[in-house]
Structure 1
C-alpha cells in the first residue's frame, strides 16, 4: 500500500479539523466554517492519542508539540 496514503489516512483519522477542511468541505454542498475556538473544541473532542513503543519517543514527541505550539501552530495544524 502507498505510504503517502497511509500517512494521509492517519492524519485524517486523528484530526477532525483537517478532515473538515481538506475533505468534507470539498465534497459537501454544505460547507462548514468554524472559528479557531470551535476548531480547538472539535479537535479536542476527537483527537487521537499516539502510541509509542519507547518512552523516549513519547518525550521527544511532546517536546516537538510544545516547540511548535510556542511557534504559534494550532493543535490541528500539527502532524
Structure 2
C-alpha cells in the first residue's frame, strides 16, 4: 500500500469502510495498517475508516431498515 503513494491511505480507509458491510475481522485491517504506516497513522486511518463505515451503516439502516422490517412483519 505504501507504493500507492497518496492512494495508499485512501485504500486503507476504504478497506475499513468496506469492512462495515462485509463481515471480515477488523483486526486484520488494523494490524496491517499499523504495520504499514506505523502506530499513529495506521490507527488514525483505521479510525477514520471505521467512522465513515459507521456513517454508511447508519445511512443504509435508515434508508432500507424500516421498509424491510415493515415487509417482514406486516
TM-score class normalised by the smaller sequence: under 0.3
Name the TM-score, length of structure 1 as normaliser.
0.27
Name the TM-score, length of structure 2 as normaliser.
0.28
When Rg is computed on C-alpha atoms for both structures, the one with the higher figure is 2
